[in-house]
Amino acid sequence: MDSLLIKGGIPLEGEVQISGAKNAVLPIMAGALLTEERCIIRNVPDLSDVRFMGQILASLGAEVKFEAGTLEIQAAKLKGTGDYDLIRKMRGSICILGPLLARLHQAKVSLPGGCVIGSRPVDLHLKGLAALGAKLKVEGGYVLAKAPRLVGADIFLGGRSGPTVLGTANLMMAATLAEGVTVIESAACEPEVVDLANFLISMGAKISGAGSPTIQVQGVDALHGTEHEVIPDRIEAATFAIAAAATNGEITILGSRPDHLSAVLDKLRESGVKIDRRGRTLVVSRGPRLNPVDITTLPYAGFPTDVQAQMMVLMTLTPGLSIITERVFESRFMHVSELARLGAEISIEGPSAIVKGGRPLSGAPIMASDLRASAALVIAGMAARGSTQVNRVYHIDRGYERIDDKLRALGARIQRVKEA
């Protein structure tokens, strides 16, 4: 496994181009299974998760070609059982369930894996598909689903931690080929859901309300091939913005969607970070003084859970007390113990992390536990004095395209090395 060796204390300076959104492209790839015709998807990041999904689609019989940021997918022939070992490694793979059921009227999909950040059950996915007429059971690690026909229904998708993004995606895809009208209440409002809807609409689907809590889908007889460009990755943009502030540098972030980042930009400005918005470009630098802030993660358009760990690093560098409350995933503070190795003072009280900031961080060997924690630890290493080695960075390659190359281009002293 690889690790990242970082020599800290260097302000990041320069320009960085934001890649396509991982959390948008994976459901879109699954959506390509809804048609026999070729789909061309552009602005696709070269990530291990994308390649895993490509292998999953290929195991289902689809032809998949990925080159220079462009995916070509054609599922002229399709089978209903995917590779167990591939699917179980990645949470986003559950998105193939809805399209397979809609297209083939049956599916056998292994329960998915992903980062260890708390319970993320698929019960809402199954509830919604059952409402459309599917017969489902979980057996031997698989979800077994059959539906001679899918019929539109009114579906409520609210869960304990709010709407489910992947559940909304799965139900929306399945409903495109169902008979009649499907209304999804308490739907996820994330930009990635809107991007999937736009992709499906370009295939001939009839969808309205995406981006709101109520999505309506009028089923059609068939979908056709299309071309689509994936939205920029708002989490990557937020990560680089926080990295600029944490290293006391100045970064110009190109090709982002600031309208997808309102909650993050608001908290950064509150914390004393200077942000100059110029259309789709953001210029980010640390102001004369950092201020402690309180943050609660929430479903979109609230502060994203995927930026919680990165923001915590900035608060460790900020004099005063900050309280960060996690309301989306119950086990998303695994990075706290690693930040403590660097000298951070953080205590956990239930769903909240209390950060006593202002002390300088000092480099040390640390270990990544999940995708976003990996990014946070890299930021901490760049802000710390001395050398930091972040181990098990295969997590970061799941969601950040060439992050070490991009950081080096901004002046970071970061090197990828093989772990002993």
Name which of 317, 325, 275, 278 is nearest 297 in CA terms. 325
* Residue 39 annotated in active site: no
Asked whether the beta carbons of 197 and 172 are under 8 A apart, the reply is yes
> Which tokens belong to 143?
């979800």
Instruction: Determine whether 321 is exposed, middle or buried from the number of CB atoms within 10 Å of its CB (0-12, 13-18, 19+).
Output: middle
Between CA 129 and CA 167 the distance in angstroms is 10
CA distance 68 to 55: 17
What one-character-per-residue DSSP string does 259-312 give? GG-HHHHHHHHHTTEEEEEETTEEEEEE-SS-----EEB-STTSB-GGGHHHHH
| Strand (E) or helix (H) holding 313 | helix 308-316
* Catalytic pick among 39, 95, 115, 189: 115
* Widest CA span in the chain: 64
Task: Tell me phi and psi for residue 242, to 5 degrees.
Answer: -70, -35
Strands lying side by side in the sheet with 281-286: 13-17, 250-254, 281-286, 273-278
Cβ–Cβ under 8 Å, residues 19 and 45: yes
- Catalytic sites, residue numbers: 115
